[in-house]
């Protein structure tokens, strides 16, 4: 077989062309495909055309590959709540849900991307963040992730991306992870993935809790006011508790400790009245701003720095009710980006344009009928009437003959059915979303889509030293899992040289490979100022609200010390979780038995945000030979958490190798403030990072 000819397109995307003796890529009907990288658009930045049968067939087949489990985002959990508009943006949008003071029912589903429904909650992975608003004008679905950008620029590449990151086709592993050959082979050949790779290799993909992660709509949308004026908008969800993540070693141990860690955390928070809350923010800008940027605002691999366009908070979302039945609600909820209401509209983002087709088609595949909108969790809360009839699982019982329009049945005394309403109905905005919206039908990418490295460089420069070390170590770990495809690590590092030379060398050294020649950039990167908003550590809140403190006790623990500590933890709005060698608890110094919330052997410290060790000399001596006790404090120290300990517990800390320093305190007033932090400066002395 001859070698395929490799060539880059206008956007820097890799085109592998058939050479002599190689098979030609075709549709399922045998029609040869000339371009498998770009969907057909009306002009370089125009909308994707429905006539693109190659795109439709490819995504149609992908959507129907597996049923009934979701192909992506299969592992998820959901909850009910409400959205309340807190600011008047009638000058920007006529959408009723944005009326100040308006409360709108919502259903939210959080999910991982790569794993199946039976995988674990805590792999390194992007998290889905999908919100269904049951507005009085119909349902609006804001279907996004916990990262503001995505791997690809065009929806035609989505099946390839997901095939590459899913379990390898010949062996069905690894499950729920990207650290394997095929994903990195794809990523190294697609420079447009670079920015998202830095986010994916950061601690953003290791969230401490679903309640402590941001959400993003990813795409550029439009807001449209009553006068028809359109503005560009990006949607942001900001968690009330701030952003928190775990570290890699901690995430691995959480998988072993509790496969359901995130869904349990969300369920229990709502169940105990500690309702999760997010603020909804918007970045609004006009065409002049868009034209002035060194990137294209319709490119989903790019973000708009908050330093350039600050996020304006316009509402809050509270999740206050768990589902009654997981299957009926969380599994059957169907989100579609095409579900929008008057006052919101689409841009020509080619990734968004493909999603508008794909999601609706997927719901038919998963739920078996075009009537999936009649399932209670999907049904609008406002009146719904049209002439769509019949189909599998039809639950409505329409009366009369009116199943078409126009009709004159009403003039003859019969029910004529609903009618269109130009005054309040949805009308697509005629506002252009950028340059080059008219022209020839082309399979191309807009010129600015070719810059794949500038924003990745901005993201890296925005991180703390600790975060940069985590990202480098993540690249090293994942690329070290690439087996037979020995060209892939070098090719990936060659791309990284376009982001930062020192960083690329760091990764190459971690892999033990020579620094490869720099990959040719389709468009030379430009310098964009770093943004503190992109860093987790720079935005962490020093608060214990909504968090859990593990308190280790044993027989002889001082009752007064324990009571004082629990009171201080609860005053800080955190939860004290009592851990003891036996689930029945321990006998305290006053002779009373303190029941435990968890047994030491089955309640590891990685499930807590900080730990306290409240032991007597007797209790400490008893635990010195308990491997679980030594590991309990050792892991907390290794995961950079605060440790408060009684004087009598010092031998246990010594055996675990815990050295005095920041974050290691007594049980005095210094513990609770320390417990609100992570101590990243401790890490270089504990493990080798790239």
List C-alpha distances in Å: 522 to 16, 157, 604.
Answer: 16, 18, 49
End-to-end CA distance of the chain: 40
* 107 assigned ligand-binding residue: no
The answer to whether 366 is annotated as binding is yes
CA distances from 61 to 55, 113, 159, 678 (A): 10, 19, 9, 46
Question: Closest Cα partner for 435 from 141, 48, 43, 64?
Answer: 43
Residue 371 bears catalytic tag: no
Exposure b/e, 225-250, CB count within 10 A at least 16 = b: beeeebbbbbbbbbbbbbbbbbbbbb
Tokens of 82: 């409400």
Alpha carbon distance 472, 500 (integer Å)? 11
Q: Is 452 a catalytic residue?
A: no
Q: How many CB atoms lie within 10 A of CB 268?
A: 13
312-322 and 277-285 as β-strands: parallel, antiparallel, unpaired?
Answer: antiparallel
CA distance 591 to 581: 17
Cα separation, 199 vs 207, in Å, equals: 12
User: CB under 8 Å to 49, separation ≥6 — which residues?
Assistant: 39, 40, 41, 42, 441
For the chain, the farthest-separated pair of C-alpha atoms sits apart, in whole angstroms, at 93
- 70 among the known binding-site residues? yes
Containing H/E element for 263? helix 261-271
56 annotated binding-site participant:
no
Residue 365 main-chain phi, psi, to 5 deg: -65, -45
CA pair distance 239, 607, nearest whole angstrom: 20
List of E strands, 72-151: 76-85, 103-112, 127-135, 138-145
Q: Find the catalytic residue in 38, 73, 80, 452.
A: 73
Rounded distance, CA 554 to CA 556, Å?
A: 6
3-state helix, strand, coil in the chain (%, to 5): 30, 20, 50
Check if the beta carbon of residue 86 is closer than 8 Å to that of residue 282. no
Residue among 231, 132, 289, 139 nearest 429 (CA): 231
Angstrom distance (rounded) from CA 97 to CA 546 = 28
The full DSSP string for 520-575 is PPSS--------GGG-SGGG-----TT-EEEEE--TT--HHHHHHHHHHHHHTT-E
The Cα 103–Cα 97 span in angstroms is 7
Q: How far is CA 7 from CA 12, 19, 31, 36, 64, in A?
A: 9, 12, 22, 13, 31
Give me the catalytic one of 139, 145, 146, 371.
Answer: 145
Question: Cβ neighbours of residue 638 under 8 Å, at least 6 residues apart?
Answer: 249, 686, 687
Calpha distance 650→621 (Å, rounded): 10
Binding positions for heme: 70, 109, 158, 355, 359, 366
Active site residues: 73, 145
Binding positions: 70, 109, 158, 355, 359, 366
């Amino acid at each position: 077989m001859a070698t395929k000819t490799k060539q880059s397109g206008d956007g820097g995307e890799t085109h592998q062309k058939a050479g002599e003796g190689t098979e030609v890529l075709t549709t399922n009907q045998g029609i040869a495909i000339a371009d498998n990288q770009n969907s057909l658009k009306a002009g370089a930045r125009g909308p994707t055309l429905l006539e693109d049968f190659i795109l439709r067939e490819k995504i149609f087949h992908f959507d129907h590959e597996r049923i009934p489990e979701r192909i992506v985002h299969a592992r998820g959990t959901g909850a009910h709540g409400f959205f309340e508009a807190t600011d008047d943006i009638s000058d920007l949008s006529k959408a009723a849900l944005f009326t100040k003071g308006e409360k709108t029912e919502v259903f939210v589903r959080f999910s991982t991307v790569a794993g199946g429904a039976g995988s674990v909650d805590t792999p390194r992975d992007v998290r889905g963040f999908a919100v269904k608003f049951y507005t009085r004008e119909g349902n609006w679905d804001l279907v996004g992730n916990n990262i503001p950008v995505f791997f690809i620029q065009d929806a035609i590449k989505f099946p390839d991306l997901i095939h590459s990151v899913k379990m390898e086709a010949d062996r069905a592993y690894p499950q729920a992870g990207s650290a394997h050959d095929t994903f990195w082979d794809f990523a190294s050949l697609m420079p447009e993935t670079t920015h998202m790779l830095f986010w994916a290799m950061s601690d953003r993909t290791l969230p401490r809790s679903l309640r402590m992660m941001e959400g993003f709509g990813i795409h550029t949308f439009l807001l449209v006011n009553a006068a028809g004026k359109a503005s560009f908008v990006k949607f942001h969800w900001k968690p009330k508790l701030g952003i928190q993540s775990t570290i890699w070693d901690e995430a691995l141990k959480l998988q072993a400790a509790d496969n359901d860690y995130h869904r349990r955390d969300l369920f229990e928070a709502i169940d105990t009245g500690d309702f999760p809350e997010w603020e909804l923010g918007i970045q609004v800008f006009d065409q002049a701003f868009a034209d002035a940027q060194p990137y294209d605002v319709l490119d989903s691999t790019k973000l708009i720095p908050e330093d350039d366009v600050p996020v304006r908070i316009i509402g809050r979302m509270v999740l206050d009710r768990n589902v009654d039945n997981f299957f009926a609600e969380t599994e059957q909820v169907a989100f579609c980006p095409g579900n929008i209401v008057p006052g919101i509209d689409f841009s020509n983002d080619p990734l968004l344009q493909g999603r508008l087709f794909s999601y609706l088609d997927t719901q038919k595949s998963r739920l078996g009928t075009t009537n999936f909108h009649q399932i209670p969790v999907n049904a609008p809360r406002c009146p719904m009437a049209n002439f769509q009839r019949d189909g599998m699982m039809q639950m409505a019982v329409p009366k009369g003959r009116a199943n078409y329009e126009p009709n004159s049945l009403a003039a003859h005394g019969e029910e004529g059915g609903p009618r269109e309403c130009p005054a309040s109905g949805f009308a697509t905005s005629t506002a252009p979303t950028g340059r080059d919206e008219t022209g020839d039908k082309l399979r191309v990418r807009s010129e600015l889509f070719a810059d794949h490295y500038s924003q990745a460089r901005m993201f890296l420069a925005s991180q703390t030293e600790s975060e940069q070390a985590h990202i480098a170590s993540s690249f090293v770990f994942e690329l070290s899992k690439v087996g037979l495809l020995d060209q892939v690590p070098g090719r990936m590092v060659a791309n990284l040289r376009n982001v930062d030379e020192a960083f690329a060398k760091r990764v190459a050294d971690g892999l033990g490979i020579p620094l490869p020649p720099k990959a040719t950039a389709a468009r030379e990167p430009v310098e964009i100022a770093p943004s503190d908003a992109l860093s987790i550590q720079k935005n962490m809140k020093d608060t214990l609200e909504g968090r859990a403190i593990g308190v280790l006790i044993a027989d002889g623990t001082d009752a007064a010390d324990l009571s004082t500590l629990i009171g201080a933890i609860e005053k800080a709005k955190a939860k004290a979780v009592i851990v003891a060698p036996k689930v029945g608890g321990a006998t305290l110094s006053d002779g009373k038995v303190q029941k435990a919330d968890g047994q030491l052997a089955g309640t590891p410290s990685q499930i807590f945000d900080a730990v306290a060790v409240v032991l007597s000399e007797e209790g400490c001596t008893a635990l010195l030979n308990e491997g679980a006790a030594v590991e309990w404090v050792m892991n907390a120290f290794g995961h950079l958490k605060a440790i408060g300990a009684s004087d009598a517990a010092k031998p246990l800390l010594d055996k675990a190798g815990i050295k005095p320093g920041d974050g290691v305190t007594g049980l005095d007033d210094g513990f609770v403030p320390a417990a609100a932090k992570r101590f990243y400066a401790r890490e270089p002395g504990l493990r080798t990072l790239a």
